[in-house]
């Protein structure tokens, strides 16, 4: 036993000795008196001991840099050219910040793949030396105006390090997210384009399951089609694939048992109120709920007012259309009619009526108290909803149940790959270079920096491993919590 | 490029920006010091302006043009900011113009 312990200590020491000495270093790009040097007094907040706004900003960046340093194994310092500057904004919307690798290289001496773009920080890591000595590797700029009441109203940057951002924007999480893009979790060009015909390191791990090809194997035309192949564009990387089960929870879906033509599992969106669908038992016939035309429109299928076919809905799963009123209102109407559950069928946004939706929406509640809701809510896409409606209209019984599938994780394809964000209505700029929003729990590299994110790297570090980064010894193990 | 040479270029760029007040003339990688002195805040379009140029490295020529990831935010129905990370101006403007209910990531508040 003592021998094993000694061997373990020796191995650990050897691994630590082999770790690279490179750090992530913040280069303060602001002039005196502004940005990181803003002398405006501030009270320490959430573990950030800075006493000026500038100090607090710098402390957040330094904390994010230190966190990246703990996992990235490189011999070369990664210089982050960072600054806070005023960027346009209004009381209701704003640009929070931007980031990018400062330069990209291909076919350098130690490049692991020929003809592939690598961000310079990663190229330096492969080379083992700074290919552009002293020059920054990542550019990050954030909007200092967010701290003004004229910008995003009373919502400011949150400079605490404890995740208690409340109504503000958690700078620490946004910096972690943006630095990951600067380290190579992005394309050199906006998807589906390549720069000078060459893929970036990210693109060679982008796999279209329908075509059976990675993006670097596809033509421009094929990639344009792939861009909106929802659920079938995935990350092809062994490290991410091996770790998904440590981070993601099983998928909950709507299982239709009859009629046979509809019998399969349907992807669902969930609600932030009512019982959790992954721990709720629900199995019953599905019934189209009908109501009187409400003030908000002439629809009789939006479930916004008392249901006129309450007897048919009672003890069954009610189905209504999205829009017309709040999700909470629909839930109350269905529950009052005795429904055991509620399905909300998504509809195109009125502002973009020709756009098909392909991802069932999440359902939230604003100011009202939803604690009276005891039936589960789920949403489905318009396409799936129309299939069910067609059967109901033809008087064909449809029965459904909530189904937890431990063999498929929320955010993965049936084949076990983690899905990339490829909405059928192309969302230019967000597509591909982020995880699909169906991942659950939420991940750092989804296109939205979600409010429920903890301050961890989750699968981000394994994605970095897949593109060629290595992790410092002992940092590769999954942390106990996200 | 040495650090001293890089800093010299940055200083020259700042001087040029102050003199000409021309944002377009500056290399995007060097505007960080110039922007705080501009009288008007940077515009959204500026962030996505095409960057050109290359830099000689110890191992070939590195390209400086490439996509920028931009985080945009709007206030949701609950008064909290809803964010999206995009890499072109069209996407940013679409996000800022969309009803918050379109967003999947933060559960829609209404219909």
Which strand ranges, in their side-by-side order, compose the sheet holding A206-208?
A213-214, A206-208, A233-235, A418-419
Q: Compare all CA atoms of chain B with the CA of A107 and give the residue at the minimum distance.
A: B60
| Residue B29 Cα, gap to closest chain A Cα (Å) | 7
pLDDT band at A478 (very low <50, low <70, confident <90, very high): very low
Residue A384 lies in a domain: yes
Rounded to whole angstroms, the Cα distance separating B107 from B101 reads: 8
* A162 shares a domain with A304: no
Q: Compare all CA atoms of chain B with the CA of A436 and give the residue at the minimum distance.
A: B105
Q: Compare all CA atoms of chain A with the CA of B45 and give the residue at the minimum distance.
A: A88
* B47 shares a domain with B80: no
Mean pLDDT of A72-81: 96
Any idea what the CATH number is for the domain that residue A265 is in?
3.50.30.30
* pLDDT of res. B5: 57
Q: Which domain holds residue B29?
A: 3-63
Test A94 with B74 for CB contact under 8 angstroms: yes
| Residue A229 Cα, gap to closest chain B Cα (Å) | 17
Nearest to A145 by CA among A130, A156, A136: A156
pLDDT one-digit tens code per residue, B48-104: 776 667 777 777 788 888 888 999 998 876 677 888 898 888 888 888 876 544 343
The answer on pLDDT for B3 being more than 70 is no
Of the residues A163, A184, A205, which one is the last residue of a structural domain?
A184
Of the residues A184, A201, A231, which one is the last residue of a structural domain?
A184
* A257 shares a domain with A131: no
* pLDDT of res. B26: 30
Cβ-in-10-Å burial (0-12, 13-18, 19+) of A163 comes to middle
Q: Which residues contact A56 (CB under 8 A, 6 or more apart)?
A: A42, A45, A48, A50, A159
Residue B12 lies in a domain: yes
Test B98 with A271 for CB contact under 8 angstroms: no
Q: Which of A33-37, A76-80, A303-307 has the lowest mean pLDDT?
A: A303-307
Of the residues A349, A381, A409, which one is the last residue of a structural domain?
A409
* A400 shares a domain with A281: yes
Mean pLDDT of A152-169: 92
Computed over every residue of chain B, the mean pLDDT equals 63
pLDDT band at B40 (very low <50, low <70, confident <90, very high): low
* A377 shares a domain with A261: yes
* A367 shares a domain with A292: yes
Work out the percent of chain A whose per-residue pLDDT is above 90. 71
* A266 shares a domain with A169: no
Rounded to whole angstroms, the Cα distance separating B70 from A320 reads: 37
**How many domains, in total, are found in chain B?**
2
Residue A344 lies in a domain: yes
* pLDDT of res. A12: 43
Residue A220 lies in a domain: no
Rounded to whole angstroms, the Cα distance separating A75 from A61 reads: 21
Q: What is the ipTM of this complex?
A: 0.80
* pLDDT of res. A194: 95
pLDDT band at A438 (very low <50, low <70, confident <90, very high): confident
Candidate from B87, B96, B107 with C-beta closest to A364: B107
* A177 shares a domain with A64: yes
Q: For residue A458, what are the CA distances in angstroms to A19, A427, A436, A440?
A: 21, 24, 14, 12
Mean pLDDT of A32-48: 97
Find residue A98's DSSP bridge partners. Answer: A141, B70
* B26 shares a domain with B50: yes
Test A359 with B104 for CB contact under 8 angstroms: yes
Rounded to whole angstroms, the Cα distance separating B54 from A1 reads: 58
- B47 vs A349, residue with greater confidence: B47
**How many domains, in total, are found in chain A?**
2
* B7 shares a domain with B39: yes
Test B111 with A167 for CB contact under 8 angstroms: no
Test A362 with B37 for CB contact under 8 angstroms: no
Residue B108 lies in a domain: no
Q: Which domain holds residue A271?
A: 250-409
Residue B36 lies in a domain: yes
Q: Compare all CA atoms of chain A with the CA of B78 and give the residue at the minimum distance.
A: A366
* pLDDT of res. A294: 61
Do the beta carbons of residue A327 and residue A377 sit within 8 Å?
yes
* pLDDT of res. B2: 53
Test A93 with B2 for CB contact under 8 angstroms: no
pLDDT band at A34 (very low <50, low <70, confident <90, very high): very high
Any idea what the CATH number is for the domain that residue A98 is in?
3.10.170
């Amino acid at each position: 036993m003592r021998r094993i312990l000694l061997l373990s200590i020796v191995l650990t020491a050897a691994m630590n000795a082999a770790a690279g000495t490179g750090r992530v270093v913040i280069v303060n790009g602001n002039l005196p008196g502004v940005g990181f040097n803003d002398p405006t007094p501030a009270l320490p907040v959430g573990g950030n001991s800075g006493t000026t706004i500038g100090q607090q900003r710098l402390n957040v960046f330094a904390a994010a840099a230190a966190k990246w340093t703990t996992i990235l194994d490189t011999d070369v310092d990664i210089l982050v050219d960072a600054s806070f500057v005023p960027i346009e904004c209004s009381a209701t919307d704003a640009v929070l910040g931007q980031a990018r690798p400062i330069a990209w290289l291909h076919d350098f001496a130690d490049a692991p793949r020929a003809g592939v773009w690598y961000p310079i920080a990663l190229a330096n890591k492969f080379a083992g030396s700074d290919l552009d000595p002293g020059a920054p590797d990542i550019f990050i700029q954030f909007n200092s105006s967010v701290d003004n009441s004229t910008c995003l109203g009373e919502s400011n940057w949150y400079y605490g390090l404890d995740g208690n951002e409340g109504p503000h924007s958690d700078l620490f999480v946004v910096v972690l997210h943006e630095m990951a893009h600067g380290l190579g979790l992005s394309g050199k060009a906006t998807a589906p384009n390549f720069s000078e015909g060459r893929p970036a390191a990210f693109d060679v791990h982008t796999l279209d399951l329908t075509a059976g090809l990675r993006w670097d194997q596809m033509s421009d035309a094929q990639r344009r089609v792939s861009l909106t192949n929802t659920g079938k564009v995935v990350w092809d990387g062994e490290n991410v694939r091996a770790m998904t089960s440590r981070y993601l929870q099983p998928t909950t879906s709507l299982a239709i048992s009859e009629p046979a033509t509809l019998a399969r599992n349907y992807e669902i969106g969930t609600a932030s109120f009512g019982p959790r669908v992954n721990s709720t038992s629900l199995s019953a016939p599905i019934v189209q709920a009908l109501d009187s035309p409400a003030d908000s429109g002439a629809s009789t299928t939006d479930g916004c007012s008392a249901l006129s076919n309450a007897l048919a809905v009672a003890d069954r799963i009610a189905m209504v259309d999205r829009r017309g009123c709040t999700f909470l209102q629909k839930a109350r109407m269905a529950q009052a009619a005795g429904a055991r559950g509620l399905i909300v069928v998504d509809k195109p946004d009125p502002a973009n009526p020709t756009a098909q939706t392909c991802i069932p929406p999440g359902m939230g509640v604003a100011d009202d108290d939803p604690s009276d809701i005891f039936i589960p809510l789920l949403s489905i896409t318009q396409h799936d909803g129309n299939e069910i409606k067609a059967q109901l209209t033809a008087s064909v019984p449809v029965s459904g149940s909530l189904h937890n599938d431990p063999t498929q994780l929320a955010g993965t394809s049936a084949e076990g790959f983690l899905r990339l964000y490829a909405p059928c209505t192309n969302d230019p700029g967000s597509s591909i270079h982020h995880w699909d929003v169906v991942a659950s729990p939420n991940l750092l590299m989804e296109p939205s920096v979600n409010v429920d994110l903890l301050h961890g790297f989750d699968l981000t570090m394994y994605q970095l491993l897949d593109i060629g980064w290595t992790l410092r010894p002992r940092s590769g193990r999954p942390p106990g919590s996200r | 490029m040495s650090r001293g040479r890089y800093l010299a270029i940055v200083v020259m760029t700042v001087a040029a920006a102050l003199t000409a007040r021309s944002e377009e003339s500056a290399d995007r990688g060097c505007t960080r010091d110039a922007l705080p002195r501009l009288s008007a805040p940077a515009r959204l379009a500026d962030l996505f302006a095409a960057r050109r140029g290359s830099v000689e490295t110890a191992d070939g020529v590195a390209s400086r043009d490439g996509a920028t990831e931009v985080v945009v935010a709007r206030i949701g129905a609950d008064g909290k900011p809803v964010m999206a990370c995009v890499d072109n101006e069209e996407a940013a403007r679409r996000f800022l113009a969309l009803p918050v209910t379109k967003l999947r990531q933060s559960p829609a508040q209404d219909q």
